[in-house]
Chain A
Amino acid sequence: DIQMTQSPSSLSASVGDRVTITCRASQSISSYLNWYQQKPGKAPKLLIYAASSLQSGVPSRFSGSGSGTDFTLTISSLQPEDFATYYCQQSYSTPIFTFGPGTKVDIK
């Protein structure tokens, strides 16, 4: 089974900061990596698919990169509405999917 890890597990940042979250797969997953944002009490929202493709309607301050085992989600200038938990998800072994443990971004 493919295991996903994320770092850090949480971070504190200020509005306007550049934020980077890392996701690592236990084996190569090519570019089969998605990112989701979840706010408290709400359903997750798809941000990035195929490692670097921005989902329709998602602000361009979000970007994704990486391939193989190491991936990054970057928020170029953190906005108040971006405080949330972010999850990576591998789709290499579709239709069996695995999520990372999540990274909580809160206000410094």
Chain B
Amino acid sequence: QVQLVESGGGVVQPGGSLRLSCAASGFTFSSYGMHWVRQAPGKGLEWVAFIRYDGSNKYYADSVKGRFTISRDNSKNTLYLQMNSLRAEDTAVYYCAKDQWFGENDAFDIWGQGTMVTVSS
């Protein structure tokens, strides 16, 4: 079945780094753009980053620009998020999500279960 499984979360000190992974299965990963979305404890959803199907273009929220890098390996059906210079406010559940183009509109139709990142000393 169509599935996204995140991994790599954990506890890291402020200023530290962490790399998240998202393994895709059940669909042609190399044909779809992919997103990272995060949710701080008790808060709403925040879009973090997007990468096109072939990795040719990447986009970031202002809150993570210059610190986070989204990438993908289509041969491994895996999406990544490299997070550097982490801050306490980056503490959140991080979800990967598949982008689906519905003709004139795109939305996030498949989500992973999320991985928790805690930035604390």
Contact = CB atoms under 8 A, between A and B. Distances in A.
Nearest to A44: B111
A34 B102 CA distance: 11
Given A32-B105, A97-B47, A99-B45, A43 B59 contact: no
Given A95-B33, A95-B50, A95-B59, A44 B105 contact: no
A46 B107 contact: yes
Q: Give the interface SS of chain B, mostly helix, strand, loop or mixed.
A: strand
Interface in B32-69: 33, 35, 37, 44-47, 50, 52, 57, 59, 61
Interface stretch (A13-21, A48-56, A75-83): A48-56
Interface in A16-34: 31-32, 34
B50 to A, nearest CB: 4
A2 to B, nearest CB: 12
Contacts of A95: 33, 50, 52, 57, 59, 99, 106
A46 B108 CA distance: 7
| Interface bracket on A | 20 to 34
| Interface bracket on B | 20 to 34
Interface in B97-115: 99-100, 102-109, 111-114
B80 interface: no
A87 B46 CA distance: 11
A96 B105 contact: no
Contacts of B33: 95
Contacts of B57: 95
B95 interface: yes
A69 interface: no
A91 interface: yes
A94 interface: yes
Given A34-B105, A46-B108, 4 more contacts: A43-B111, A50-B104, A55-B107, A101-B44
What 3 pairs across the A-B complex have the smallest Cβ distances?
Answer: A43-B111, A50-B105, A95-B50
